[in-house]
Amino acid sequence: FLPQVVKSARVMKQAVAYLLPYMEAERQASGAAAKANGKIVMATVKGDVHDIGKNIVGVVLQCNNYEVVDLGVMAPADKILDAARREKADIIGLSGLITPSLDEMCTVAAEMQRQEFDIPLLIGGATTSKIHTAVKIAPNYRKGQAVYVLDASRAVSVVSGLLSEDHRAANIDAVRREYEEIASRHARGSGREGRRATLAEARANRFAPQWRGYVPQRPAFLGLKVFDDYDLRELTAYFDWTPFFQSWELAGRYPAILDDVRVGEAARNLFSDAKAMLERIIAGNWIQPRGVIGFWPANSIGDDVCLFSDETRRERRQVFHFLRQQMYRTEDKVNYSLADFIAPLETGVTDYLGLFAVTAGHGIEEVAARFQAQQDDYSAILVKALADRFAEAFAEHLHQQVRRRFWPYAPDETLDNAALIREEYRGIRPAPGYPACPDHTEKRALFDLLRAEDNAGVRLTENFAMLPAASVSGFYFSHPDSCYFGVGRIDRDQVEDYAARKGMTLREAERWLAPNLNYTPEAVS
C-alpha cells in the first residue's frame, strides 16, 4: 500500500543521503557511473497548485530507481519543456486537480509537438481521465504519445512499459491504437448524451418553491466578518477522514476502513501516524487558519443572482451567473439551477446570499519544506494532507456557525459530525468549480466581494486555483429546499446565453465549461 511505500522511502533516502559521499568516492575511484532506470520530469501545470498526488507518484518512482526532477506547482509549458531538454528526460509527467488544468495539459502537448519532442507524456490528477487524454490531449502530440495514469500504484508499471528496450514500441503502439478507438467512438457520438431539454424547456421546468408567504431569515449582520488564526484544536472535531485515506489510495469510508479486511492494517497505521502528526501541528502552531464570511441582500433574475449594496436593493453590488441542468426530465423532476434557491426579484421577497473563503494553508509549505530537507517525504505529504482536512473542517465549522449564529436560519441545530458529513443540515454551501457551479471564473467576483486576499491571505491563480492549496470557498444558501446537484452536460444554446450574460466570447465560455459541453466546439481557424 502507498503509505508503506512512501514511509519506507524515508529510510531509504536518509540512508542514501548518508552513504552518498562514500558511494560517489567509490564510483570515482572505479570509473563507474550511476545508472537510473530512467529520468522523469514532473510538474503540476500552470495555474494549478495541488501536488499531493504528484508527490506520492514521485516517491514511488524514486523507490523503483527512477530519477525524478520535480518542478513543483504552477509550472508553465516552457519551464517544463526546457527542463526536459536540459535534463535529457525520458518521460514528462503532468498533474492537475482543477478542470482548467485539462486545457493547460493540451497546451503542453501541443508545444511538445511543435518543438518535436517524441518522449512519452504522462497525464494524471483528479480531473483527468483516459477519455479526455485520448480525445483532447493525445491528438495534439502525434510525434509522441500521451498516456493516462490512473493512480500512483500504476505509475511504475506504466513507466517501465514505456521505457522497456524490448517492449517500448509495442506498448506505445498498443496505447495509440486504444486511444484512437476511444477518440473514434467519441466522435461518433458516444461521448454525448441523448435527448436533451432546450434551455427554454429547462427554464420552464425550473425548481419553483412557493415564495408567497416565505420570509427568509435575515443575517445577524450584512457585510464581512474576518477570522484570524482560528483554534486548531476546535477544528479537529469537524474532520472528515474519508478523503484523507483516499488521498493515499486506500479505498473505504472512515471509520469502517480501519477494520477493512484488505486495507485495515495499513489504514490503522496511517491513522496512527496522522493523529501523532496532528498533535505536533497543534502543539507547534504550524498552521494559522484564516477565513472571511459575508452576507448581502440578494434576489434572482433568471439564472443570475444579484447582490445589492444594502437593504434598499437599488444599487447592484455584484452578479453571480449560474448554469441550469439540461437533461431531459419527466414530469416529476425539475431542472435545477442554484439561482432557483434565491427569491426572484419580482416576488418582492427580501432574500440573502452568503459567501465564504477559508484556508489552513498558511505555514504548511514551510513545514513541508523542513521535512523534505530531512529526506522525509512521508511527513511532508502527511502534513499537506492534514492541512487539506483542516481547511475542509474550517469550512464545515463556519457553515455550522452561520446556520446557528451569523445567519440563524437553523439556530437549534444539534447535528453531530457524522450528520454534518452526510449533509443533513438545512441549506447548502456549493463551491465554484464543483458540480452545481462548474465555472471556476465565478470565484473572481466571490473573492473581490470578500476581499479574500486581504482578509484571509488567499489569492487566485490565472486558472482560478486557490493559493494556498489548502483553501475552500463558496456560497451559502439558506432556503430549506436548497440541495446539492450536478449541472451535467449542457448544450450550445445555454453556453451562448451564459457567454452573453457574463460578457464573454463563446470561445471563452467553451474553454471554461469544456468538461460540461454536450457538443464539440468549432475548431479554431
478: annotated active-site residue = no
The cell for 65 is 530507481
Alpha helical stretches, state H, 228-336:
232-235, 242-247, 264-284
Alpha-helical runs (H) found in 402-505: 417-421, 442-450, 452-456, 492-502
- In terms of phi and psi (left: phi > 0; alpha: psi -120 to 50; beta: otherwise), the region of 260 is beta
Q: Where are the alpha helices (DSSP H) in 285-376?
A: 364-373
Residue 101 bears catalytic tag: yes
Point out the catalytic residue in the list 48, 103, 303, 388. Answer: 48
Supply the DSSP symbol for 520.
Answer: P
Beta carbons of 239 and 271 less than 8 angstroms apart: no
Ranges of beta strands (E only) in 202-315 are 223-227, 290-301, 304-308
Q: Which three cell numbers stand for residue 375?
A: 529526506
Q: Out of 51, 90, 95, 101, which one is annotated catalytic?
A: 101
- Which residue blocks in 357-466 are alpha helix, DSSP H? 364-373, 377-401, 417-421, 442-450, 452-456
Q: Cα separation of 173 and 157, whole Å?
A: 16
The answer to whether the CB of 455 falls within 8 A of the CB of 471 is no
Report the DSSP beta bridge partners of residue 472.
358
Grid coordinates given for 293: 464570511
List beta partners, residue 233: none
Active site residue 48: yes
Sequence-separated contacts (24+) of 341-344 with Cβ below 8 Å: 341/207, 341/209, 341/428, 341/477, 341/479, 341/481, 341/482, 342/298, 342/299, 342/300, 342/305, 342/477, 342/479, 343/211, 343/214, 343/216, 343/299, 343/300, 344/211, 344/299, 344/300, 344/301
**How, if at all, do strands 146-148 and 121-124 pair?**
parallel
Residue with cell 479486511: 261
H or E element that contains 95: strand 91-95
Greatest distance between any 2 Cα atoms in the chain: 89
Residues recognised as catalytic: 48, 50, 101
